[in-house]
Copies of this chain bind each other. A is one copy, B any other.
Amino acid sequence: MQIETIRHSLAHILAQAVQEINPKVKLGMGPAIENGFYYDFEMSFVPEDLARIEKKMKELIKQNITFQKKLISKSEAEKLFKEQPYKLELINELKGKITIYQGGKFVDLCKGPHVKSTKEINPESFRLNKIAGAYWKGSEKNQMLTRIYGLAFKDKKELNLCLQKEAEAEKRDHRTLGQKLGLFLFDEEVGAGLPIWKPKGTILRQIIRDYLHKELSSQGYQWVTSPHIGKLDLWKTSGHWNHYRENMYSPIQIDQEQYMLKPMNCPFSVKVYKSEIRSYKDLPIKYAELGTVYRYERSGVLHGLTRVRGFTQDDAHIICTPEQLSKEIENLLRFSFRILKTFGFKNYDIYLSTRPEKYAGSLKDWEKATNVLKYALQELKLKWQIDQGGGVFYGPKIDIKIKDSLGRPWQCTTIQTDFNLTERFDISYINEKGKKQKPFMIHRAILGSLERFIGVLLEHYAGSLPFWLSPEQIWVIPLGQKHEKYAKEIGKTLENSNFRTKVKDENETVSKKIREGEIQKIPYLLVVGDKEMKAKTVRIRERGKGDTGEIKINKFIEKIKK
């Protein structure tokens, strides 16, 4: 028996169980999904309901209910489901005979397939695990229903493995960690998908910003700064209005003009390029910007920091001669891997995304650029896959998905060729022969966005960020009031060595401070009392290791400077 069929049948049994509890419940849809199934109901539930429903499902399964497929006419179906408005809506959209499945007293509109009898289902190998809101047919314009999710596997062992994995992922959930570590917040009144960064989160952003600044400057990047809105005309010229409108927000009216929140930074970099006459000797020109862009995402798909409506890209635009393109792509790939490794990511899935249905430019340009990307991947002897039709409207791209410590892939780096903007904004350089020539343009982001990348970092490290990324690196905890002065001296010494240090001199117990430091995943907690004061030492509690002994402060600084 296919596990998908069992999952699908469990969805029916779930609906049947809920209907037995509340015969008037209005039913939505209930398919099999990865790892399990769900069913949507017009009814509210509390988490405690799940156990009760699960129990009812097990009873039903033990009744060895058989599933019977029937073909009925549309009018019969309408009569059968007259109390079920969502089913009626679906029936209305169908043509010809209607397939239904009957299992015991329960009938559902369904194409199947199903198990023959609930005998085939192991009642110990499924678990109802989640309640969530879901719009009917996934559209915000429709009624919000309640979705009950279940996990289902062929046996209990597989189920437990999945439950373990989910528990691990939950511990690593960056949304929970973000709150616990005091990094960021979301606020209903501000709006969904719009994170506000608290002081510690802002420090983390600044550490990443400063690191990127150093790395990129050493690679000859120049930084630019652009506004968050631009005239609709600009986006018409750039092609975004034509090809990217569904990701853009509604216009803002200023005097007689319409302005758009920027979904991308590119047109502004183009304007900087165009503000001077460029020679082949100036190329490649690399403009970098930590640009905050705004893109529409349906509220249903928003997820913590990894799917937001406003985010700061580590964006760059490289403008080069046709001859330089291939080399630049190779450099970029190498550079990206180096940056990602610094953050601790060493496993990747690499994709070459080709022409989408909606595209700008000529087929010849697409082919040429795709070949350049392929060539670079081959030169670097990388393993990669084709993502057919996954390119952006303006050109093919290479995407790097980084794999976190649970093996989950996350889209981060993207290297995109563009022969659309250079054309549309008519940008040029003076070549060796003194003639105007069209350059090539590369868009690229290495981390992708600060938001998504920080989300991934938190999940990858389960919140225990590497020392260099920790917003607070060291807490100094005095054992008693008389050790506060010494604790402050230690704090000062550490700060002078540029370590982000906090002296915990609040009126709390030492054990409470240590516990708090552990929750906040501070890399080093230094406890100081009489003994340490006398010996000019500190007692180290290292994150994940506990007490690692007493040490002279200068030795400690040497140790952490490594």
Show the binding face of A for B, using Cβ within 8 Å.
140-141, 182, 185, 187, 189-191, 194-199, 201-203, 205-206, 213, 222-231, 233-234, 237, 249-257, 259, 261, 267-268, 271-272, 275-276, 281, 287, 292, 294, 296, 298-299, 309-310, 506
The answer to whether B296 touches A190, judged by C-beta atoms less than 8 angstroms apart, is no
Q: Considering the chains assembled together, what is the distance between the CA atoms of A466 and B519 in angstroms? A: 47
Q: Assess A227 versus B196: contact at CB under 8 Å? Given A255-B140, A275-B185.
A: yes
Which of B201, B296, B506 contacts A254, CB < 8 Å? B296
Give min CB distance, A164 to chain B, whole Å.
32
The answer to whether A197 touches B185, judged by C-beta atoms less than 8 angstroms apart, is no
Give min CB distance, A196 to chain B, whole Å.
5
The answer to whether A228 touches B292, judged by C-beta atoms less than 8 angstroms apart, is yes
Contacts A185-B272, A190-B227, A191-B259 known; 6 new A-B pairs at CB < 8 A: A189-B271, A190-B268, A196-B268, A205-B225, A250-B253, A261-B261
Which of B203, B227, B255 contacts A310, CB < 8 Å? B227
- Chain B residues with CB under 8 Å of A309's CB are 254
The answer to whether B199 touches A224, judged by C-beta atoms less than 8 angstroms apart, is yes
* 6 residue pairs bridging A and B, Cβ less than 8 Å apart: A191-B257, A196-B271, A197-B224, A203-B223, A251-B252, A261-B261
Q: Considering the chains assembled together, what is the distance between the CA atoms of A250 and B250 in angstroms? A: 10
The answer to whether B281 touches A506, judged by C-beta atoms less than 8 angstroms apart, is yes
Which of B191, B257, B296 contacts A229, CB < 8 Å? B191
Q: Assess A234 versus B189: contact at CB under 8 Å? Given A202-B223, A254-B249.
A: yes
- Chain B residues with CB under 8 Å of A233's CB are 189
Q: Considering the chains assembled together, what is the distance between the CA atoms of A141 and B255 in angstroms? A: 8
The answer to whether B254 touches A191, judged by C-beta atoms less than 8 angstroms apart, is yes
Give min CB distance, A397 to chain B, whole Å.
25
The answer to whether A194 touches B230, judged by C-beta atoms less than 8 angstroms apart, is yes
**CB closest residue in chain B, given A275:** B185
- Chain B residues with CB under 8 Å of A202's CB are 222-225
3 residue pairs, one from A and one from B, having the closest CB atoms: A199-B222, A197-B225, A194-B227
Q: Considering the chains assembled together, what is the distance between the CA atoms of A271 and B187 in angstroms? A: 8
The answer to whether B252 touches A196, judged by C-beta atoms less than 8 angstroms apart, is no
Give min CB distance, A409 to chain B, whole Å.
27
- Chain B residues with CB under 8 Å of A256's CB are 140-141
Which of B141, B226, B255 contacts A197, CB < 8 Å? B226
Q: Considering the chains assembled together, what is the distance between the CA atoms of A213 and B229 in angstroms? A: 26
Which of A197, A223, A227, A292 lies at the interface centre, i.e. has the most chain B CB atoms within 10 A of its CB?
A: A227
Q: Considering the chains assembled together, what is the distance between the CA atoms of A225 and B251 in angstroms? A: 25
- Chain B residues with CB under 8 Å of A191's CB are 227, 229-231, 234, 254, 257, 259
Q: Considering the chains assembled together, what is the distance between the CA atoms of A89 and B160 in angstroms? A: 84
The answer to whether A226 touches B189, judged by C-beta atoms less than 8 angstroms apart, is no
- Chain B residues with CB under 8 Å of A224's CB are 196-199, 202
Q: Considering the chains assembled together, what is the distance between the CA atoms of A223 and B199 in angstroms? A: 5
Q: Considering the chains assembled together, what is the distance between the CA atoms of A237 and B253 in angstroms? A: 23
Give min CB distance, A273 to chain B, whole Å.
10
Give min CB distance, A476 to chain B, whole Å.
18
Q: Considering the chains assembled together, what is the distance between the CA atoms of A292 and B287 in angstroms? A: 21
Q: Considering the chains assembled together, what is the distance between the CA atoms of A140 and B194 in angstroms? A: 34
Give min CB distance, A533 to chain B, whole Å.
25
The answer to whether B201 touches A225, judged by C-beta atoms less than 8 angstroms apart, is yes
Q: Considering the chains assembled together, what is the distance between the CA atoms of A255 and B249 in angstroms? A: 10
- Chain B residues with CB under 8 Å of A222's CB are 199, 202
- Chain B residues with CB under 8 Å of A254's CB are 191, 249-250, 296, 309
Give min CB distance, A253 to chain B, whole Å.
4
Give min CB distance, A310 to chain B, whole Å.
5
Q: Considering the chains assembled together, what is the distance between the CA atoms of A222 and B471 in angstroms? A: 12
Q: Considering the chains assembled together, what is the distance between the CA atoms of A127 and B547 in angstroms? A: 83
Q: Considering the chains assembled together, what is the distance between the CA atoms of A26 and B310 in angstroms? A: 50
- Chain B residues with CB under 8 Å of A203's CB are 223
The answer to whether B234 touches A190, judged by C-beta atoms less than 8 angstroms apart, is yes
The answer to whether B252 touches A189, judged by C-beta atoms less than 8 angstroms apart, is no
The answer to whether B249 touches A252, judged by C-beta atoms less than 8 angstroms apart, is yes
